[in-house]
Structure 1
């Protein structure tokens, strides 16, 4: 008899090995990604054939974040253009024609068809994100000479008006240093997707893939799936890119719900990694109360690792740890809501 009075051998024989096997594989993924760091010689000359493209809707509520991004690009001495849906009173602006606009995918498609050059590297940024250094230019030169065609930076959040959303956003930084690093630097295939912030891609590949991949509200993920499909090689840049966390939990939930569209794309591209990792996250969350019954498993260890990340986020945000831990399921719940009711339009979060 089990110490809690439950001794169904069928449940124990299936559940415990499943928890240990899934947790062991996931821990291996996290550990392997964590040790697989980009190694670019520090004396590598930076690439000169590049253009930074900041994509924005150009409305009043995004202007504060956009001006902050432009100021940082100017401080770093980078060449850039602002691709906007509306006219703006700042320098280097390209306004997308109304009949070519509607969402980020269409705006970038217009830019690609009319301006992108095959011999130039393009670095895409959202209007609330900016690089903290210019090491990505060295990374482009190093990896580009070795046949790599696309890359991503490492996200690091900065506070918005919601301290809780900022605390929860630190999970994205952790994922970049583990799962995404394994995909980009280890496998050289973006099987978990790519971020729209500091999205680096060679011009000829951009011209080949972007216009043909179809209208979508998760354009960065679909581009990643096209790169995987065509077996293009990728890299992770050493550059950290600052992203502004949502100003409210409502925006946080809407943002994550939109990302659920990527799961449908993954299924269509026959890529099991994103849906499987989402399912495992739910599985590991369920493993926490089971620990009290069956004792710790490797799945419990995974849950503990992510709990530690949320605790770190709570310390950075100066929030009570219990608040952050109780709110941590919001990410999964928002994704689930997005799967049930898939967003058809790109929701622009408040960036003021």
Structure 2
């Protein structure tokens, strides 16, 4: 947190030399066809930047909507060699399609989910400055407040990006790689592919694969904008999918980076123990049970650290209003967020499908 607070992305971006020949950049949006209006809004916004970029939508054969950009339609009978399904299957087909169309080393692909957006400076940096094989910037929230607790809980994603993504990506050691806004040079993506045959974690696996042989960097200009889930049910489903994607990937994450795998375990343990600590503290206070000075000190430090981390994320999202709301609801948000881990352990998802949530 301290390192990020004293960092300056604008100065870092200005230090990077301008390329003699700008990169060819394309934007690829992968959708399941359940958020056509949101996808159209994303396309319209990117066209409004007037950067002259090609935009592609990878869609399933059953999606009959006509998007206002080039479409890559995944055939019904398309099968990945490693048995990948759902989003990975679609992305792998799109990867192969782009290769047959001649997109290679001169092209960078900016990947977006069908509810995420990147701003103009983000794309301009990739066009004019990016010289390594892959990278990713930091996220911000858009459409804040559709569901208050989900929005407040998602502020931790901003904190994670600023504290961890930024720090580790700068050293070619990707730790938190998310599907929104990941940028990969086309020839490298074609070499690695998206056909991992796992339940999820395709974005993290791609980042780790790139860092093994090439370089994965932090993109210091612009931001990626995401929309929090609109219901508690969707929030818990989304978090459950993320939880199990780390542990249901046939050991790929662990083999690529044991440090990253252990780090995720550590983060989840911190979430569980922090939640248990809050429950114990509440119980002790209500039952008037004596707390030793050491336990009280640890509890205070835990709550202070937890609160600071969320406020750190709220600061970067740029809203004092939501920072204050989050401060007032910090303890309920802690329970709301913390119980996702217990929910994930108690109610396993169907690993043969890809749970989707409503997009806005």
TM-score (norm 2): 0.77
Q: Which piece of structure 1 moves more, 129-138 or 75-84?
A: 129-138
Shift of the alpha carbon at 1:171? Answer: 1.5
Residue 31 of structure 1 pairs with residue 28 of structure 2: no
Q: Which piece of structure 1 moves more, 32-41 or 172-181?
A: 32-41
In the aligned structure 2, how far is the partner of 1:141 from the partner of 1:285?
A: 45
Residue 89 of structure 1 pairs with residue 66 of structure 2: yes
Q: Report the secondary structure of 1:245's partner residue.
A: coil
Q: Given the superposition, is the C-alpha separation of residues 71 and 213 from structure 1 closer, same or farther in structure 2, using an over 3 Å criterion?
A: same
Structure 2 equivalent of residue 5 of structure 1:
none
User: Are 2:155 and 2:310, in contact at CA under 8 Å, matched by a contact in 1?
Assistant: no
Residue 302 of structure 1 pairs with residue 273 of structure 2: no
Structure 1 equivalent of residue 82 of structure 2:
none
TM-score (norm 1): 0.78
1:89-168 to structure 2, matched below 5 A, reads 89-92=66-69, 93-100=71-78, 102-116=85-99, 117-119=103-105, 120-139=107-126, 141-144=128-131, 148-158=132-142, 159=144, 161-168=146-153
Q: Report the secondary structure of 2:221's partner residue.
A: strand
In the aligned structure 2, how far is the partner of 1:124 from the partner of 1:178?
A: 22
User: Are 1:55 and 1:83, in contact at CA under 8 Å, matched by a contact in 2?
Assistant: yes
Q: Which piece of structure 1 moves more, 170-179 or 45-54?
A: 45-54
Shift of the alpha carbon at 1:122? Answer: 0.5
Shift of the alpha carbon at 1:34? Answer: 4.0
Residue 337 of structure 1 pairs with residue 333 of structure 2: no
In the aligned structure 2, how far is the partner of 1:140 from the partner of 1:277?
A: 35
- Which residues of structure 1 form unaligned runs of 5+? 1-29
Structure 2 equivalent of residue 44 of structure 1:
18
Q: Which piece of structure 1 moves more, 111-120 or 283-292?
A: 283-292
- Which residues of structure 2 form unaligned runs of 5+? 80-84, 285-290
In the aligned structure 2, how far is the partner of 1:246 from the partner of 1:317?
A: 19
**C-alpha RMSD of matched pairs (Å):** 3.0
In the aligned structure 1, how far is the partner of 2:338 from the partner of 2:78?
A: 34
Deviations 1:221-258 (A, max 9, x none): 22223234446332234221111111111111111110
Structure 2 equivalent of residue 209 of structure 1:
192
Shift of the alpha carbon at 1:311? Answer: 7.6
Q: Given the superposition, is the C-alpha separation of residues 53 and 253 from structure 1 closer, same or farther in structure 2, using an over 3 Å criterion?
A: same
Instruction: Say how many residue pairs are matched.
Output: 316
Residue 57 of structure 1 pairs with residue 43 of structure 2: no
Shift of the alpha carbon at 1:323? Answer: 4.2
